[in-house]
Amino acid sequence: MAGPDEFAVIDAAAVERWIRAFAAAIAEHEPELTRLDSAIGDADHGANMNRGFKAVIAKLDEASTSGPAAMLKQVGMTLVSTVGGASGPLYGTFFLRMATAIGDTDTVDQKLFAAALRAGVDGVVARGKAEAGDKTMYDALAPAVDALDAALGGEDASGALSAAADAAAQGRDATTPMQARKGRASYLGERSVGHQDPGATSAALLLRTAADALG
């Protein structure tokens, strides 16, 4: 296990483990995501994400790409081209911005990974124009990147990513009492209160699988 000053190195194989783990988690949680989206949206978040990540996995099976950035870019492009709805552009932009932030390097240390994750989250904000408290995936992502940055100094790799995943899960839970101000759930006004946000739920899975695969 890497110590506080020895950042774990994330290579293309590690990124692939993460993407495959997230795809598996989406498949496993498809009914839950759809059920959550039925309550306040249009009942398609699980199906859409699963369709996109099946396509992502098919691409990964075809041929492995050269580096972490190329792989993340391929994931992003595939999601934009297959998911549709709001999740396609949001998750697609997330992975594309991560790829850009990583740039042309084969080995990503945890600092760079944290910076890339933040760039991805900034991309989600730029695309979706969501703010904290709007009851969206951003409410899970924002505390996660903050927790990751805060943990970088003192924790080992695994601990820092776990802290990020825990923060994402708390952020997801915190969406339940919120009133939605973005996406289709916003049309419900006060009736959106009391339901966990499906986008925050899939985003928490994204961080949990990152902790499991990269930690």
Partner 1 sequence: MKKLINDPADVVTEALSGIAAAHPDLRVDLDHKIVYRADAPVQGKVGLLSGGGSGHEPLHGGFVGPGMLDAACAGEVFTSPVPDQMMEATRGIDGGAGVLHIVKNYTGDVMNFEMAAELAAADTGVEVVSVVTNDDVAVQDSLYTAGRRGVGVTVLVEKLAGAAADEGRDLAGVAAIARRVNDAGRSMGMALTSCTVPAAGQPTFDLPEDEMEIGIGIHGEPGRRRVPLAPAREVAEMLVEPILTDRDFTGDGGTLLFVNGMGGTPLLELYVMYREVSRILAKAGVSVARSLVGPYITSLEMAGCSVTLLQLDDELLRLWDAPVRTPGMRWGV
Interface residues toward partner 1, by CB under 8 A: 34, 38, 40-44, 47-48, 51, 80-90, 127-128, 179, 181-189, 191
Residue 4 or 187 with smaller CB distance to partner 1: 187
Q: Could you tell me the smallest distance in angstroms from the CB atom of residue 53 to partner 1? A: 15
Please give the structure tokens belonging to residue 209.
């699988």
Render 138-171 in DSSP notation, one character per residue.
HHHHHHHHHHHHHHHTTS-HHHHHHHHHHHHHHH
- Residue 77 C-beta: closest distance to partner 1, Å: 9
We find the least distance from the C-beta atom of residue 19 to partner 1, in angstroms, to be 19
CB nearer to partner 1: pick between 6 and 131: 131
Residues contacting 62, CB < 8 A, separation 6+: none
Least Å distance, CB 144 to partner 1, is 22
Residue type, 135: K
* HSE, side-chain direction, 13 A CA sphere, residue 70: 14
Element (H, E) at 191: none
CB of 23 to partner 1, least distance (A): 17
Structure tokens at 128: 């979706």
Q: Residue 46 CB, nearest distance to partner 1 (Å)?
A: 8
Distance CA 108, CA 99 (A): 11
Q: For partner 1, which is the closer residue by CB, 162 or 202?
A: 202
CA quadruple 167, 15, 85, 131: dihedral sign? positive
Is the CB of 85 or the CB of 143 nearer to partner 1?
85
Judged by beta carbon, residue 100 or residue 179, the one nearer partner 1 is: 179
Nearer to partner 1, 148 or 185 (CB): 185
Classify each residue of 26-43 as buried b or exposed e, where b means 16 or more C-beta atoms within 10 Å of its C-beta.
Answer: beebbebbbebbebbbee
Phi, psi of 194 (to 5 degrees): 95, 0
